Amino acid sequence: MLTDAQVTGLLGTDINEVRGDRGGPGCRWYSYESQASVAVDFPKITDNGLTAIYAAAKDHRYKFFKEMTPVRGYPAVAWGTNDETMTHGECHVAVGTSDQSTVEASVSLSKQNVGTKDPCEAARQVLDMAIGNLHRTP
* pLDDT on residue 135: 79
In sequence order, the β-bridge partners of residue 93 are 78, 105
* pLDDT on residue 21: 63
Would you kindly state where each structural domain of the chain is located, as residue ranges?
40-136
pLDDT (tens digit per residue) in 71-111: 999 999 999 998 988 889 999 999 999 989 999 999 999 99
Across the range 55-62, mean pLDDT stands at: 91
Across the range 16-30, mean pLDDT stands at: 82
Q: How far apart are CA 70 and CA 61, in angstroms?
A: 23
Model confidence, pTM: 0.90
**How far is the CA of 62 from the CAs of 37, 66, 78, 102, in angstroms?**
22, 10, 10, 17
